[in-house]
Structures are given as C-alpha cells and as structure tokens.
Structure 1
Amino acid sequence: MDNSMEERLLSPEELNSSDLKRRVWNESKKLWVIAFPGMVARVSSFGMIVVTQLFMGHIGELDLAAFGLQQSILLRFVDGILIGMSSATETLCGQAYGAGHYHMMGVYLQRSWIIDGVTATILLPLFIFTTPILRLIGQEESIAIEAGKISLWFIPVLYYFVFSLTIQMYLQAQQKNKIVGWFSASSFLLHVLLSWLFVIKLGLGLAGAMAAFSISSWLLIIGEFVYIFGGWCPNTWKGFTKAAFADMLPLVKLSISSGVMICLELWYSSILVVLAGYMKNATIAISAFSICLNINGWEFMICLGFLGSSCVRISNELGRGNAKAAKFSIKVALGTSIIIGVIFWVLCMVFSREISYMFTSSDEIAESVSRLHVLLAFSMLLNSIYPVLTGVAVGAGVQSMVAFVNLGSYYAIGMPIGILLGYVAHFQVTGLWIGLLSGVGIQTLLLSYLTWRIDWNEQVNKASERLGRFFIETTEGSEESSNLA
C-alpha cells in the first residue's frame, strides 16, 4: 500500500464505524504478519531455557537453584545488553526498509555483528569466573560452585545470542520473519527431543541438558545463515563489505543507548534474584523466584512479538514519512496486546498450582510459587502494555529517553520497595515481587505519557536525517526501489 492510500485510510474525514473497522482490520493484518512469527521465534527461543530448567528441576534441587541463579542473573544480564544493542539494528533496518534503502540493511546487520561480537567477548570473563563472582556477592557456596559449572556451558549460547538477535531483527524489518519462526519452532522441538534423550534416556544429567541447549541453538543459527547467504534475501544482502567497518561511531552510540534501555529493565529482576539468595532458605527462595520469572518471561516473549511488530510498523511508516499511520498502528497494537494479557491473567489465576509442578517435584518449592500467583498474574497483565510502548520508542529511535524512565521506575522506586517489604517487613519473596510489580507499574504509566507526548511529524524528520547520515550509495541506484515493490 503506497503513501497516498495510507493517508486516505487515516484521514480525519473517515470517522464512521465501517471505515474504522476496515482500518483496524487492515492494520491488524499488518501487525500479525510481523507479530505472530516473532512470537513463535521468541517463545521458542525462551522456551529452550524454560525446557532446560524443567529438566534441571528433575535432576535435583541444587541443580535447579544453580541454573535459576545462573540464568536469572548472568544470562539475563548479558542477554539484556545484547538484546538492547541489537534493537539498534531493528530501528535502522526498519526505517531503511520503509525508505527503500534496501542494500543498507545488510550493512547494518554486519555492523551489528561486529559491535555485538566485540561486546560478547568483553563479557566472556563473567562466564569463566562465575563461582568467585557469586562468592564475592555472598551467595551460598554450594550454589556458587554448581552455577560455575553451568556457566561454562553457556559460553556457546553467548555467541548464539549475537547472531540470533540481530538476524531476527534484520529479517523481521523486511517482513521475512516467517522463516525465523519456522527455524525457531524446529529448534525448540529438537531441543525437547535432545533434552529427553540426553537427560532421561541416557542419564547424562547437567551435561546432557546443557549440551542439548547448545546444539539446538546453533543449528538454528546455521539454518538462518543458509537462508541469508543462499540468496533468499537478494535485495538486502549484497555480501560482506568493508563498508560495515565505516562510520561505526553513530551506530555504537545508538546501540549503547538501546542496550542501556533494555538492560535497566532485565537487570532489575536479576538483582531481585540475587536478593532472594540472601533469604533464610536460599535454595527454595531462588528456585521459586526464578520459576515465577520464567513463567512471566515466557508470556513476556509473546508480548515481545508486539514489541517487534509495533517497532517495525512504526519505523517503516516513519521511513516512508507517514506519521498518521505510525500513530494508528500504536493504538491497534496496544489494544490487541492488552486482550492477550487479560487471557493470561485469567489462566494464571486459575491454574497457578498446576503450573508450578511442571517445574519441580518439590512440594515446598511448588507451594512457594503458588503463593505468588496473584502478583504473577498482574505482572502478566502489565506485560501486555509496556513492551508495546517500548517498541514504539525503538521504532522512533528514542531509546535514551526510555533508559531514564527505566532507571527511575525500577531503581529509584521498585527496588527500594522490594527491599523494604522483603527484608524489613519480612514478606520475603512476596515483598520482592511487590517491588518488581511497583516498578513495572510506574514504568508503564511513564511510557504511556512519553508516547502521548511524542511529536510524530518531528520523528519523521529525524528518521529521514538518521537514514541520510548512514546512507552509502549502491551501484544499483534508483533500481533498488522497484526491487521490492
């Protein structure tokens, strides 16, 4: 649909109900084309972590607590950095696609590989020296030693994130994310099969569970490499180029602001897991808290599909210079995501105890998880709102503003509340989760206000300036705009 058609659809004169229904239907189709494969990809990717935790829980309580600590703290820490930095790829590729600068998308992808790869290597010592780090922050000795063993298995996963996150955003921006969904779903099914084979049938324990995780992850990346390099992205992938090393500083700045934005959000829950480790029964507290975080996180992956779709739709429309379509897309994405959040809220309220036994055979851990079900349900409800608003920020390229929102919401408000209720008021894990929920609630309100205040016509101009600054001429020239028409 060209710009004149979009303007016609979104003009103020079209105010009757039939036109509104048609506009919502058209926008919903565009959103779901992007969102559903993105949901499949993110749910499958996060699902591999959850499945690994499921098998860990049936190996032993110590393995479950160590994996929960490792995954909730260290993996979430580096994942937050890499997800955040990769969102710069999402912003630039989405706006480049909307503007018709298709060849630049492959250049942006390569630059992101370089930046994220260097970042992952800088973070590598965290995985090598996990045990002394956990000892330094006062975690139980047995959990610290076991987590140190697990962390070495996470090193291949660290570099898997570098490629999977950036490739997904590159393909998603050009609406080719169906292939990511298929590859991710296949990788997830393979992971379930390998985990069952290695852990249950062959009795390989910890090594079997982590080996299954690494193998499944990297087979996904290999499949995506074959798809890109094999000629299925002819207009956006022109091969490796020295241009990827040029003009890196502006992208580094955007990547850092993106990384800070996401990190402040994901590290918040990680710090709360660390605080859970200081409670009386640390093994039970960490296990219960990390299980709830993973349940919440799995539902959050579905909502991230709307984050991705709203980001792509907004960045595409800003790249085209269509501010009205960008604003209308926000309304449709937010309404759809909230409906899904309500459905998960109901499911969590009704089936909380049954869900907890999926992760553990310990009655004590299951009971601790069940006590958090009301707070977990409301966390799921808020999950349906703020990821869409974050996607709006990423699509518009205003990540630095969201970073300040996250800093104030989580660290100035949410965390102090959690510490006071958890330790001073002796609410234990429940107090920590109330603090988490408070931070998310404040963040949602502030992001709503930020979205309402954005001048979208100004964002159109900024997107044009940003793309012009990064643009590198190609030999195809004007032919490029007709290639993907």
Structure 2
Amino acid sequence: ILKITFKLSSSQFLSYLFDYLILFVSTVFRGHLGKVELDGVTLATAAISVMGIGIGYGLSAACDTLSQAFGAGNLCLVGVITQKAILILLLACLPCCKNNTFILVSQAAFMYIIEAKYLQNQGIIWPLVITGVVTNTLNALINYIFLFVLDMGVTGSAAANTISQYSLTIILFIYIRWTGLHKDTWPGELSMDCLQEWDSFIHLAIQSMLMMCAEWWTYEIGGLLIGEVEFGAQSVVYGLANIAYMFPVGFSVAGNVRVGNAMGAGDVAQAKLSAKLSMICAVSVAVVLATVVGSSKNVIAYIFTNDKVIWGENVNYYFFLQSNQAAGGSIVKGLGKQKIGAICNLVGYYAVGFPIGIFLMFAAKWGIFGLWTGLLISVFLQSVFLSVLLFKLNWKKASEEVRNIGFPFIKS
C-alpha cells in the first residue's frame, strides 16, 4: 500500500507542478512587459480564477466520487459520470464568463479538469505528467514568439495562455484516445444515461465547489484588503504557500483515490489504512518542508524582496496544519461527504479565521501577519475537526451507504 501511495503521490505532485508552471512561466514573460502591464494582467488572472476557473475546479470535484465507481468495478458508470460532467461543466461556462475570451479559456480549462479527474480516479497519473511537460515547452515557445518576436504585448500574453490551455486539453485527449485508456469505461458512444439525474450531480458539485472556493476566495479577498504597501509581501507568501502545498497534496489526492476505490469495493480495512497512511505521509512531508522553509526564510524572502519582515512563524505552522487539513478534506471527498467538507471550510474561514484575520489586520494593526494568523487559526480548527471526524467515523456504515444507496448520480 505504501508503495502504491508513493507512486500515486509523486506522479500527482509532478502533474500539479507542471500545471502550475504554465501560469508561472507566463507570469515571468509578462514581467518583462512592464510593471503596469504585469499588475493589470495579474489582477485579470485573479478575477478569471475566482469567478471562472475556480468555480470549474470546484464543480469538477464532484467527479472525485468516480473512484468509488471504479473501485466497485462499475466501469460503465465511470464513463457515464464523465460524460455527464463534461455536459454540465461546459454549460457552466456560460454564466461564469460574460465575454468570448473568458468562455474560450474556461472551456479549455474545464475540459482538462474533467480529463484529469477521469484518469486520477482510476489511478492513472503519468499521462498528466507527460502532457504537462509537452505543454510547458510549447507554452514557453509561444510566449516568446508572441511577446518578443511579434511584439503583441498583453494581447499576445492572453493569446499565448489561451493556446496553451487548449493545447493541454487537446494533447491529453489525443493521448487518451491513442493509448486506448478509455476503452473499458467509455466504449465510444454517448450514453443516454448521462442525461439523467442531473440534479443529484449538480447538488454534489455545488457542495464540492463551496468546499474548494471557500478556501480559494479567502486568499484572493485577503490579498485585496491587505493594501498596496503589503500587497507584494502577500503575493510572495501566497505564491510560496501554493508551491509548498503541492508537496503534501500528492498524498492527499492519493488518499482520495485509494479510499474511494476501497469504499466502492467494500474493503473497509483498506480504506481506513489508506486514509491513515495518506494523512501521516502528508503531515510528515509538511514537517520537513516547514523546517526547511523556516530555517531559510530570510534567504527565500530576499529572492523576491528586500523586505525581511514578510515572513512570520505563523506561516511555518500554517504549512504544517494545511497539509493535515488538505489530506482530511481529500479523504472526505473520497467518501462522498462533500457537504461536511463544505460546511467545515465555510465555518472555518468565514465564521472564524477570516474575521479574526481582518480584526488583527486592521484593528490590531498587525498587517499581513494578522491576516495569516487568522488563516492559521482557521486551518487549525479545520484540521482538528476533520481528524476527529475520520477517527470517529463508522467506516463499515459509510461503506454500506456507498454500496446500498448507490452512487449519487444514477439510480440502480
């Protein structure tokens, strides 16, 4: 089990890394256009992420329950759920995006998310890594040509990003078709079953979206409230937090897949062991990461800025607690209990952590340190809640619910 978990987590880490590098490399190229252009595109990217891409990622998290169907050996259901997700998320592009450019970008991003979920929940990760390498190479080349050869400026940057997103989606689709990875779950035709029980899927998708976006939106809103003076510091800390998050998130996703597979197969012992192993590995990696980052915080800060006060000890503790919270949240999604995860995140961030962070930021005049202190309190409470929930969970009953009630998309 440990070998399988490490295999899944390492490949998942690389997949997330290459996905993130597309945006990072594009940002590096845009940085040479000028400060005004960089700030403008950064704000536009944040708006697209919050109001479009973030919603798509959240809605697609309903597909995390695919691992249950795959574990139960119901391969046809895996294909039907995927078809249903494609239709619903493509329709979700329309209210999320009000102009043609947003729709173009979101369609590509939404399709890639579904392709990734389709493979991840079957334990197939390396195609995501391979397509990530190819697309990142292509992205760097397109950015260079559009920005420095054709001198297209911000318009060229937007065009390069759109082409890269579509390339990622198309290359992965071609890989799936060429290798025949879809044959067992999707014979080729569109099943009419994918048009049924949309209300069940959408209900779970909204819960998944709230679970993910509650966290995502908190950081973006906090970045806007922090003000111009400390905005750069917030960007640095938030960016490093995202990179640090990728290390333990591999184990989180591995736990999601393994727990879902085991629950679908009715193997309670395997599900419990996979959950424990996932959380232990995620926390262990986070401890090492927090130690390394904490001991070299001045060096890391100096790479980005001369301001040495941007890094507080609370950020180190945050890395540790966030990994536990992420692992617990992924396991909850693998169990199909997104509603509990959504309530946990909404209460943790908006009823406790964020209000405390705002108070410390403005009333106590702690600035960015106050914001991250509030976030630290939030993830601490969430980690405790999720750990207790999984410890007290009646795994046998949860497995019976999955197998007896059926999957939340199609009635048997």
Which residue matches 1:233? 182
Aligned pair in 2 of structure 1 residues 123, 469: CA closer, same or farther (>3 Å)?
closer
Q: Which residue of 1 aligns with 2:78?
A: 105
Q: Is the 8 A contact 1:319 1:463 kept in 2?
A: yes
CA contact (8 A) 2:105 2:165 kept: yes
The one-letter code sitting in structure 2 at the alignment partner of 1:232 is: L
1:329 aligns with 2:274: yes
- The one-letter code of the counterpart of 1:165 is I
Counterpart residue number, 1:47: 21
Identify the residue that residue 390 of structure 2 maps to in structure 1.
451
CA contact (8 A) 2:76 2:186 kept: yes
1:87 equivalent among 40, 49, 61 = 61
Return the alpha-carbon distance in structure 2 between the equivalents of residues 83 and 181 of structure 1. Answer: 19
Determine the C-alpha separation between the residues in 1 that align with 2:405 and 2:163. 39
For 1:221 and 1:447, locate their aligned partners in 2 and report how far apart those are by CA, in whole Å: 34
Deviates more, 1:325-334 or 1:229-238: 229-238
Aligned amino acid, residue 241 of structure 2: N
Q: Of residues 91, 94, 97 in structure 2, which corresponds to 1:121?
A: 94
Contact 1:172-1:312 at 8 Å conserved across structures: yes
- State the Cα deviation string for residues 429-452 of structure 1 (Å, max 9, x = none): 222222222222222121112221
Q: Does 1:302 find its partner at 2:247? A: yes
SS of the residue 1:232 aligns to = coil
| Aligned mates of 2:151, 2:299 — CA distance in 1 | 26
Looking at structure 2, the residues matched to 370 and 54 of structure 1 have their Cα atoms a distance apart, in angstroms, of 24
- TM-score scaled by length of structure 1: 0.78
| CA shift in 2, pair 1:163/1:358, >3 Å | farther
1:232-287 superposed Cα distances (whole Å, 9 cap, x missing partner): 321011222222112211111111111111111111112112212xx3xx2x4333
TM-score (norm 2): 0.91
- Quickly say closer, same or farther: Cα 1:39–1:414, change in 2 above 3 A: same
* Residue 298 of structure 1: how far off its partner (Å): 2.2
Unaligned runs of 5+ in 1: 1-26, 129-151, 360-365, 474-485
SS in 1 for 2:339: helix
- CA gap of 1:66–1:354, structure 2 versus 1, over 3 A, is farther
**Cα distance per residue 1:378-423 (max 9 Å; x no partner):** 3322232111101110010111011111111111111111111111
Q: CA deviation at 1:356?
A: 4.9
**Is 1:379 the equivalent of 2:318?**
yes
The farther-off stretch of 263-272 and 388-397 is 263-272
SS in 2 for 1:122: helix
- Relative distance call for 1:405 and 1:33 in structure 2 (3 A) is same
The answer on 1:269 being equivalent to 2:232 is no
Which protein is bigger by CA-based radius of gyration? 1
Following the alignment from structure 2 to structure 1, what is the Cα–Cα distance between the partners of residues 249 and 59?
Answer: 16
Checking the alignment, whether the CA contact within 8 Å between 1:317 and 1:325 is kept in structure 2 is yes
**Displacement of 1:460:** 0.5
Query: Which residue does 1:224 correspond to in 2?
Result: 172
- The within-5 A match list for 1:363-402 is 366-368=305-307, 371-372=310-311, 374-402=313-341
User: How do residues 332-347 of structure 1 correspond to structure 2 at under 5 angstroms?
Assistant: 332-347=277-292
- Determine helix, strand or coil for the equivalent of 2:306: helix
1:412 pairs with 2:362: no
Cα drift, residue 323 of structure 1: 1.0
Report matched runs for 1:64-79 at 5 Å: 64-79=38-53
CA RMSD of aligned residues (A): 2.4
- Secondary structure at the counterpart of residue 384 of structure 1: helix
Q: Give the C-alpha shift of residue 296 in structure 1.
A: 1.0
> CA distance change for structure 1 residues 76 and 189 in 2, over 3 Å: closer, same or farther?
farther
Q: Does 1:421 align with 2:395?
A: no
